[in-house]
Amino acid sequence: MSIVNIPAMRLRLAAVLLASAVAAADAPHLANGLPPAGRVPVDKAIKTAVEFLVKNQNKNGSFGTRTVARTYELWCHVPGGHQAFQGATTALCWMGLNDSPHQTEASQKAQAKCLAWLVKNVNVKRPYLQQFYNTWALGYGARALSQALQKGAKGATPDEIRKTLRALVKSARLYQTPDGGWGYLDFDNPLRKPTWSTPFTTATVLIGLYDAREAGIKVPQKVFDRAERLMWRLRTPDGNYAYSIDWKWRPKGSINLAQGSSMRNQACNAILHRLHPERCDRAQLRRGLDQIVKHHRFGIAALRRPRPHESHYAVSGYFYLYGQQYAGLVLDHLSDNDRRLYWPKLVEFVLKSRQPDGSFWDYPTYGYHKFYGTGYALITLARCPAGIAKTINRKKDSAGKAKPSK
């Protein structure tokens, strides 16, 4: 018969509880501070992100994998859903590497391999009756290839890029909904053309088409007109955007409030300002940025949560870096004073998702999240003006909290 040493067990339990309490006390509160991996200068964050992508690029030039190490995952049909995820992820990685001020021989070779893959694979078909994940590949593919065409990037000829861009425009027209937008799922009416759309996926595609038109690719004006009408229709007086057409009738629903929509608002504001700067003016852009700063804690609360919309105000983790990236595009249209005001906060927000290996991610998605997240982060950090990046106060207090920039 074994004898249980009660006092010894109590001591062990007390030690475990004390260790847990110390660890909790040491853990940073991400709404107010930075994790250890995020306490790095901007130039180091960019350099290590580039190195991560170069080191982990697939042999065929793409980024991301279909592997999964958890029991719960996004609904995704094989192979089309993964082709869509990989196409969008690879386009984001190419843009991140290409935008980066840290250019090496290895990163340039990686970009060339990546572009060669994109022109052959990014025009993805609809994965399944109810799935339209190819929307992301169409939007980001058009944006990446337009940038490649305008910059004369290596890896594909101008004719190859134009051919793929024209195919993407054709696909975008095919999958544009009757109300003028683009979505990623359609549970109600799985028809030849989807019937459900959201303003932020519409903005994602529309920015890609806008860039394609700027690069000399013909895009019918009616494509823009129909999409714009939908976005203005779903914009609320508060400057937010209803999540989708079915949410229009609940303007004060949680996901439609600024707490739930601030990260999605940025893409919508960015494209509407490009198309109609007099209607979506700089004051509205600033209001959108004020929202993403004020309600940042709700983005952090959702960061890396494994299920869509499970956090406060129905925020999903994958809104996080998406929103920061488009906030960077918005800042392109504002004054130097505005940039000095908002960029330090935006950089801090992005760094909160940095990992010790140099990658960034916000939501677990098969084997794609570290790659699309790092692409988003590089696109964002690379846009921060060098002078501002150098003057951002990166000193931390004893709790690891970033001191506010003056």
For the question of whether the overall pTM of this predicted structure is more than 0.75, the answer is yes
Nearest CA among 343, 335, 195, 209 for reference residue 271? 209
State residue 363's pLDDT score: 95
**Radius of gyration of the chain, Cα coordinates, nearest whole angstrom:** 22
More confident of the two residues 59 and 23? 59
Alpha-carbon span 318 to 363, nearest angstrom: 5
The amino acid that residue 11 corresponds to is L
231-270 pLDDT, tens digit each: 999 999 999 999 998 898 888 999 999 999 999 999 999 9
In a domain, 61, yes or no: yes
CATH number reported for the structural domain that contains residue 102 in this entry:
1.50.10.20
Nearest CA among 167, 171, 77 for reference residue 130? 77
In a domain, 207, yes or no: yes
Q: Which band of pLDDT confidence, cut at 50, 70 and 90, is reported for residue 129? A: confident
345-355 pLDDT, tens digit each: 999 999 999 99
State residue 391's pLDDT score: 79
Q: Decide: helix, strand or coil at residue 108.
A: helix
In a domain, 29, yes or no: no
State residue 390's pLDDT score: 86
CB 80 within 8 A of CB 134: yes
The amino acid that residue 251 corresponds to is P
306-324 pLDDT, tens digit each: 999 999 999 999 999 999 9
In a domain, 399, yes or no: no
Residue 291 gets the label, from left (phi > 0), alpha (psi -120 to 50) or beta, of alpha
In a domain, 396, yes or no: no
State residue 6's pLDDT score: 53
State residue 396's pLDDT score: 36
Q: How many domains does the chain have?
A: 1
Paired residues of 65 in beta bridges: 367
In a domain, 28, yes or no: no
Neighbours of 272 (CB within 10 A): 23
Alpha-carbon span 348 to 19, nearest angstrom: 29
Alpha-carbon span 361 to 132, nearest angstrom: 23
State residue 393's pLDDT score: 47
Nearest CA among 203, 112, 106 for reference residue 152? 112
Torsion over CA: 71, 77, 79, 84 (sign): negative
Alpha-carbon span 104 to 55, nearest angstrom: 13
Q: Which band of pLDDT confidence, cut at 50, 70 and 90, is reported for residue 27? A: very low
State residue 324's pLDDT score: 98
In a domain, 58, yes or no: yes
In terms of residue numbers, what domain contains 372?
36-391
Percent of the chain surpassing pLDDT 90: 78
Q: Which band of pLDDT confidence, cut at 50, 70 and 90, is reported for residue 172? A: very high
Q: Cis ω on the peptide bond leading into residue 79 (within 30° of 0)? A: yes
Q: Give the distance, in angstroms, between the CA of residue 350 and the centroid of all CA atoms in the same chain.
A: 11
